Structure 1
Amino acid sequence: MSGSSHFYQVLITNVGLDGEVFAVKVKGSRTGWIPMARNWGMNWHCNVNLQHQPLSFEVTSSNGKTLTSYNVAPQNWQFGQTFQGKQF
């Protein structure tokens, strides 16, 4: 994860043989699901302040399979950290 207080970016890796990442949404404990935009490669971003909230992710592959990983990043996450959600 990288970013600042109003820009948030994640790198999604290792989707295996399920194609490429087609869509990503992020949800903080104080937000609904927020669609993320592809920045470049497998980097996805949104312009929202998500600090001090546990984060959940919904990742959809190009073959239509969607996995939701709840509370992947704890409330005290920091930029530069790496977290692991469900695997395709």
Structure 2
Amino acid sequence: VAGKGKAFVDQQHDVTASDVELAQREGFESVEHLKRYTTLGMATDQGKTSNVAGLAIMAAVTGKSIPETGTTIYRPPYVPVAIGAFAGHHRDE
């Protein structure tokens, strides 16, 4: 990633583009290994704000496309759920 200063990919865990590039240089080519080595996507958002950027950097460094690089597995719920849905059905007792 060209430019001055650090290019943060995951701001919650302070993972930078150079961290992703270093992981690849050190042999972490599996997306899941990259995630564990850098902690990319392990913050409270579970990677929903950072994984695509991290995967794009890894794909660029390896000369592959994002589908060739692969994606990570997200924990449920993948889509936002209203907190009331977890409370269950209201009963007047």
TM bucket normalised to smaller: under 0.3
TM-score w.r.t. length of structure 1: 0.23
Bigger-Rg structure (1/2):
2
Q: Which has the higher helix share?
A: 2
Task: Name which structure has the greater RCO, CA cutoff 8 Å, separation 6+.
Answer: 1
